[in-house]
Structure 1
Amino acid sequence: MSVPADNLLCVNTSHNGSFSHKEAQLGALAARQFGVLSRDQLLEAGVGRAAIQYRLGSGTLVPVHPGVYRLQGAPSSWEQKLKAAQLWAGPSSAISHRSAAGLWRLDGVDPGGIVELTTTAGRSAVPEGIVLHRSKVLTPGDAGWLGPLRVTGVARTLMDLGAVMADPAVVEAAAESAFRRDSDLFARLKRRLEDEARHGRRGFGTLRDIIDLRDPDAAPTEGMFETLMERRLRQWGFEMPVRQYEVKVGDRVIRIDFAWVPLLLGLEPRGLKWHWTREAFQNDTDRSNDLALTRWRIVLVTWWDLLHNPNKIRANLPELER
């Protein structure tokens, strides 16, 4: 997301009848930064202190944080708030935790507009609306640029999430969605956590538990349903199923989301969340009818039951009780 530069003419230039080259550069920079600029950026561009004060007085610059301004007319957005906070926190900071997870679009994490950063610098008097974490270590490999925003990488973001998310299932869902995108991430995370432990840094416990419990040879789950259902099965002490097991019925191959093959028992999601189009509903009906011709017993699970009534699911899986 960016803001068109011609929407950000922040200076009354009627005294010279034209839009100066300097103002054009500032407009372009502000457009890349969601409509915000720092005092340092203005000074570096040649805008003097008196000129900055004039723009503040005329309303063409609107204070956001100390030393950070929004250009008049720039539309407000979450990304704008993130960039403004980052400009205030300085170059040793990076957007992190829930905000970073939201930018990376990790499963299960709704940032809800939160503005969350990590810095290695000492900062006091944190502005209202900013959640600031301090870290002794934020290596060059821990953060990089996502467009105009400096953001912790996916690995560091997952490590940080456990410190702020009360539900470990959310961290696991985020991790699985990241593993789907990067097949090497699991191994890199495991090595990083081991390295942190060798150096006496014992944090990141939530993620460490998830990594320790996960089968390193297992493929990533294919979505939130599989992630949360697997977690629930582990909590019940059930034997773990084969994921996406293929069953041949006539000339058709059907994949069962969770399959206990020796028991001919399967478990699958059911509901509008997964089958909301007419085509999807018809396909689901056809495959259910095909499976009915076999000896497989398929337990259907709704999203509501998974989240709010898991014991109902357990009661439908008596074969797995030990």
Structure 2
Amino acid sequence: MDLITTAAARARGIDKDELTRLVDTGEIHRLALGAYYAGDHPHALAVRAQIIAAVSGPTAIICRRTAAWLWGLDVLPPGKTSHDWPVELLVAAGERTRPRRPGCRGHEAEITSADITLLGGVAITTQERTALDCARFLPRLEAVAALDQFLRRRVEIESLQTRALALAGRRNAKRLREVLQLGDAGAQAPSESWTRVLIVDAGLPRPETQIHVILPSGAEVFVDMGYPNQLVGVEYDGEKYHSSAEDLAHDAWRRAQLRECGWELVIVRKSDVLGRPADYLEDLTGKLLSRGWRPSTEQMTFVLTRLRMLRNREARFRLYAA
């Protein structure tokens, strides 16, 4: 790590004016009070995390979204990049005041040594503790998406549920239990997690994930999520894998084959999830009803009420942004 502290620079005969000149010429980068970096990619979150953790002392532990990023998972909010995101540090309750460095966000919480490990020489919350914190403190849709990614990493849901019970009465304990109930390791991307949570929250049956189907051609495919008994599937089309002419042609062939097998499909895109979820949820509701789903009057009233609420941008924000 190419870390240069003010004290280390002074020991080498480099005074404050020379440090300022080196920063102005781009030879080094000032990342925090008293901390400079002489390597490549100074604004990368992993670099900033190492630097800030080093100058914040041994009691500061990388946590939450920053920890997830260092573990190789992207749980940053939509529209945010790793260059934009502050380094999040967890400080044991009562240990010291929260860090107040530029580009740093401090959180005070109880933590045991079993929840701390070293990754690249940096103290960081374990994958299990990071999953627990993300599920507990992130907004609902993002929390489930983060949890799904950790479950795919084989973090055990049973262990998280046991820990959640011990947090009864604490801040966000109820939210944590709800998020853990929604977790599903079958989600292949955060967008699929969001799509699934919106379905469940609308009062529709919880879909299965990664449904194995053998096409008439003999090819084996997996429907993102859906209902095998009703042969109704929901697929999320992300820009990365569903934009080129080749991708679109393959999607058309694959979905024609699925329809030959009797499947009805609801195709969801980013604009649907973020801006118009009621549209795809209404489409899904109609397809499920036409294929034999028989909700009670109370269930159907809830679905219709939720769809109406989701068409209101402010109501949607109140439900999912906090």
Name the TM-score, length of structure 1 as normaliser. Answer: 0.72
* Corresponding position of 2:271: 304
* Corresponding position of 1:209: 178
Partner of 1:59: helix, strand, or coil? Answer: helix
* Corresponding position of 1:128: 102
**Counterpart-to-counterpart distance in 1, 2:261 and 2:172:** 49
Q: Report the Cα offset of residue 206 of structure 1.
A: 3.0
* Corresponding position of 2:119: 146
Q: Report the Cα offset of residue 125 of structure 1.
A: 7.5
Q: Report the Cα offset of residue 180 of structure 1.
A: 0.6
**Counterpart-to-counterpart distance in 2, 1:124 and 1:263:** 53
Q: Report the Cα offset of residue 186 of structure 1.
A: 1.3
* Corresponding position of 1:180: 152
Q: Report the Cα offset of residue 175 of structure 1.
A: 0.6
Gaps of 5+ in 1: 1-31
More off after superposition, 168-177 vs 97-106 = 97-106
Change (3 A) 1:70 1:272: closer
Change (3 A) 1:291 1:65: closer
Work out which of the residue numbers 203, 212, 215 in structure 2 matches 1:237: 203
Contact 1:85 1:115 survives alignment (8 Å): yes
Alignment of 1:6-85 (within 5 A): 32=1, 34-37=2-5, 39=7, 42=8, 52=11, 54-57=13-16, 59=18, 65=32, 68-70=34-36, 76-77=42-43, 78-85=45-52
* Corresponding position of 2:85: 113
Partner of 1:315: helix, strand, or coil? Answer: helix
- Pick the structure with greater CA Rg: 1
Change (3 A) 1:295 1:36: same
Give the counterpart letter for 1:152 in structure 2: T
**Counterpart-to-counterpart distance in 2, 1:257 and 1:163:** 26
Q: How many residues are paired up?
A: 272
More off after superposition, 252-261 vs 74-83 = 74-83
**Per-residue displacement from partner, 1:12-52 (whole Å, max 9, x unpaired)?**
xxxxxxxxxxxxxxxxxxxx2x424485xx5xxxx9xxx53
Partner of 1:208: helix, strand, or coil? Answer: helix
Contact 1:162 1:204 survives alignment (8 Å): no
**Per-residue displacement from partner, 1:40-65 (whole Å, max 9, x unpaired)?**
xx5xxxx9xxx538323463598765
Cα RMSD (Å) of the superposition? 3.1
* Corresponding position of 2:281: 314
Give the counterpart letter for 2:176 in structure 1: L
Q: Report the Cα offset of residue 178 of structure 1.
A: 0.9
Partner of 2:15: helix, strand, or coil? Answer: helix
Give the counterpart letter for 2:63 in structure 1: S
Change (3 A) 1:60 1:173: same
**Counterpart-to-counterpart distance in 2, 1:306 and 1:125:** 36
Change (3 A) 1:56 1:234: same
* Corresponding position of 1:274: 241
Name the TM-score, length of structure 2 as normaliser. Answer: 0.72
Partner of 1:54: helix, strand, or coil? Answer: coil
Partner of 1:257: helix, strand, or coil? Answer: strand
**Per-residue displacement from partner, 1:256-308 (whole Å, max 9, x unpaired)?**
22232332222222353332455543332221222232332222222211221
Q: Report the Cα offset of residue 190 of structure 1.
A: 1.4
Give the counterpart letter for 1:174 in structure 2: A
**Counterpart-to-counterpart distance in 1, 2:131 and 2:212:** 32
Alignment of 1:244-263 (within 5 A): 244-250=210-216, 251-263=218-230
Alignment of 1:84-95 (within 5 A): 84-95=51-62
Contact 1:93 1:118 survives alignment (8 Å): yes
**Counterpart-to-counterpart distance in 2, 1:117 and 1:202:** 18
Gaps of 5+ in 2: 24-29, 290-294, 296-322
**Counterpart-to-counterpart distance in 2, 1:303 and 1:53:** 53
**Counterpart-to-counterpart distance in 2, 1:195 and 1:38:** 44
